[in-house]
Amino acid sequence: MKQRNETIAELRQAVKRYGPVTALAGIDLTVKAGEVVALLGPNGAGKTTAVQLLLGLIRPSSGSARLFGLDPREAEARMQIGAMLQISKVPETLKVREHLELVSSYYPRPLPSREVLAAAGLEGLENRLFGKLSGGQRQRVLFALALCGDPDVLFLDEPTVGLDVESRRGFWQQICARAEAGCTVFLTTHYLEEADALADRIVLLDRGRIIAEGTPAEIKDRVSGKRVRCRTRLSLEEITALAGVRDVRRDGEEVELLAAQAEPVVRELLLRDAGLSGLDVRGAGLEEAFLALTGTDAKNERQEVAA
Amino acid sequence: MSAEVAMKRNLGRIYALQAKTEFLKVWRLPMYAIPTLAFPLMFYLLFAVATNRGTGQAATYLLATYGAFGVMNAALFGFGVGIAVERGQGWMLFQRATPMPPLAHLFGKLVMATLFGALIVLILSAAAVTLAGVRMPVGTWLALAGTLVSGAIPFAAFGLAVGYWAGPNSAPAVVNLISMPVSLASGLWFPLQMLPSVIRKVAPFLPPYHYGQLALGRLGLGEDVPALYSVAFLAAFTVLSLLLAWIGYRRDEGKTFG
């Protein structure tokens, strides 16, 4: 097992241009041993480009990509990693077992098939042809292929895209299990919930640039302000009139508002309504942070999660 | 460390599994397996057995040329369509992210194409002996079969080039559009003497012509072309195809967008 703090993967001033399009505009990114890092960003932010650079599947236009301090294309580097890419399918006329057997043979100390099947939730499907599997099962096979070599590091490019909510949570558990076993995980996602649920550290990518980086809590703190909820007899108009209050809305019996600073607002509310109850003050969510930092419409991202 | 780690993998097993995988993959694909195995036999039954009953010479001649046609198509489709489809799926991209030995994939495909080629030669030979009364010394047959099966190499190389330049949906059409007319013009369907003189003039510039002549030469039925010249022609064709494939591969590498 790798020592903590050892650098596993690194992009330095990495630029990737495709003709006139700049997919990555010079980013620095480091993944340390034992971390779960989520590269979060809207579609088209350059997430897949970043993963493919780290995996040596594409060449940087300038800057460098290193895996274990090596050129990522070195077999020695690749033997220690597993990758789940955004690919539509693997050959359909091969059985799950045959796919695993072949990919396992590439590695010096592969994980026994039985364990791969269990870790990816594929028990009982090993003799099924890939073409006969459902979408969720196919996704799990792609995950299983990443586990074949018993890797120290997992690269997952949008691992749960297109899955329903239940399958997504199942997938999260499987990823967490690997991380708890000491595996370093680097994943890309455009689901806020996913980054929040899995990552120790989030790197926020937007239009080819890193715009924020930190623990989920730190990212949320980047957006100044608190979310205040309570039950009150005050009208929305009265609350909106208070200094420092924005975005007031009614949610059932409760009122929710965003405030730059919670304390003065709460003091005012209690002064005006002694019967106020159910007071809850918390930091703004990742969603607000994402919205504030990227300026993209997080509502769209949210709808995709719900779909 | 790298040498030590690399030693622990069983390279022989990787190549063997890769070959097995490639073979099973297309063996279970009726779209590939049926036309590849059945077309040469169908042609042979139609033109050698049904229309030339009793004349052993024509049936012997056509065993060589339909054998060449069959092996060539198995290699062209196996590589051309196979590579194009796997590129489309992203399977090739995934394999590049693994420590797969770089040539294992091509090796596996070549074994697959060779096995299909050998199967075609066996099927045609069985039909020739049992239905058309073809007889030849075992040594001659072995020489013919060896020549036919090794023809998989140049056409696999050309298929590789097609696979890197054509898209997954257009590849089958591209292969057919090239293979059909060129097979005819090279004398793989009917003896060249039966074809118009224009075609007979073009034929010596076509790789399958030289392949066919090498096979016919084993039976003493070839035209007046030195075998060495045909071999050199096919070798040059192979190198040119590999070069074209390499350029296509590099172009593909630069294009991958994420």
Residue-wise pLDDT tens digits, A226-279: 888 999 999 888 898 888 887 788 888 889 888 878 889 999 999 999 899 999
Is the confidence at residue A204, as pLDDT, over 70? yes
A219 vs A213: CA distance, rounded Å: 7
3-state percent helix, strand, coil for chain B, nearest multiple of 5: 80, 0, 20
User: Would the CB atoms of A93 and B26 count as touching at under 8 Å?
Assistant: yes
pLDDT at A215: 92
B118 vs B146: CA distance, rounded Å: 9
pLDDT at B52: 64
Question: Are the C-beta atoms of A213 and A202 separated by less than 8 Å?
Answer: yes
Q: Which residues of A touch B (CB under 8 A)?
A: 18, 23, 46-49, 51-52, 55-59, 74-76, 78-79, 81, 83, 85-91, 93-94, 98, 101-103, 105-109, 129, 142, 145, 149, 155
pLDDT by residue (tens digit) across A83-130? Answer: 999 987 899 999 999 999 999 999 999 999 999 999 999 999 999 999
Model pTM greater than 0.90?
Answer: no
Q: How far apart are the first and last CA of chain A?
A: 39
Interval A159-166 mean pLDDT: 86
Amino acid at A277: S
- Nearest residue in A to B93, CA atom: A57
pLDDT at B127: 94
Share of chain A above pLDDT 90, in %: 60
Is the confidence at residue A131, as pLDDT, over 70? yes
Is the confidence at residue A300, as pLDDT, over 60? no
Amino acid at A226: K
pLDDT at B215: 96
Q: Which residues of A touch B251 (CB under 8 A)?
A: none
- Give the pLDDT band of residue A12 (cuts 50, 70, 90): very high
Residues of chain B scoring pLDDT < 70: 1-7, 52-55, 253-258
User: Would the CB atoms of A105 and B258 count as touching at under 8 Å?
Assistant: no
Q: Which residues of B touch A (CB under 8 A)?
A: 1-2, 5-6, 8-10, 13-14, 17-18, 21, 24-26, 28-29, 86, 89-91, 93-94, 96-101, 253-258
B57 vs B153: CA distance, rounded Å: 28
Candidates A78, A88, A107; nearest CB to B97: A78
Q: Which residues of A touch B30 (CB under 8 A)?
A: none
Smallest CA-to-CA distance from A214 within A50, A10, A46, A38 is with A38
- Give the pLDDT band of residue A302 (cuts 50, 70, 90): very low
If one counts every other C-beta atom within 10 angstroms of the C-beta of residue A233, the result is 10
Give the minimum alpha-carbon distance from B105 to chain A in angstroms, rounded to a whole number: 11
B contact test, residue of A93, A109, A150, A190 with most B CBs within 10 A: A93
pLDDT at B55: 64
A contact test, residue of B94, B95, B103 with most A CBs within 10 A: B94
User: Would the CB atoms of A76 and B6 count as touching at under 8 Å?
Assistant: yes
The whole-angstrom distance between residue B246's C-alpha and the CA centroid of its chain comes to 19
Q: Which residues of A touch B255 (CB under 8 A)?
A: 18
The mean predicted confidence, pLDDT, of chain A is: 88
A213 vs A205: CA distance, rounded Å: 9
pLDDT by residue (tens digit) across A33-44? Answer: 999 999 998 888
ipTM: 0.86
Question: Are the C-beta atoms of B173 and B255 separated by less than 8 Å?
Answer: no
Q: Which residue has the higher pLDDT, A29 or A295?
A: A29
Question: Are the C-beta atoms of A117 and A144 separated by less than 8 Å?
Answer: yes
> Phi, psi at residue A278, to the nearest 5°?
60, 35
Residues contacting B196, CB < 8 A, separation 6+: none
User: Would the CB atoms of B14 and A105 count as touching at under 8 Å?
Assistant: yes
pLDDT at A223: 66
Hunting for tokens 């997938």 — which residue is that? Answer: A171
Smallest CA-to-CA distance from A232 within A269, A189, A192, A188 is with A269
Q: Burial, A204: exposed, middle or buried (Cβ in 10 Å; 0-12, 13-18, 19+)?
A: buried
pLDDT by residue (tens digit) across B9-22? Answer: 889 999 999 999 99
Q: DSSP letters along A233-293, please?
A: SS-HHHHHTSTTEEEEEEETTEEEEEESSHHHHHHHHHHH-TT-EEEEEEEPPHHHHHHHH
Question: Are the C-beta atoms of A144 and A100 separated by less than 8 Å?
Answer: yes
pLDDT by residue (tens digit) across A64-82? Answer: 999 999 999 998 999 999 9
3-state SS assignment for residue A205: strand
Q: Burial, A251: exposed, middle or buried (Cβ in 10 Å; 0-12, 13-18, 19+)?
A: exposed
Q: Which residues of B touch A51 (CB under 8 A)?
A: 258
3-state SS assignment for residue A191: coil
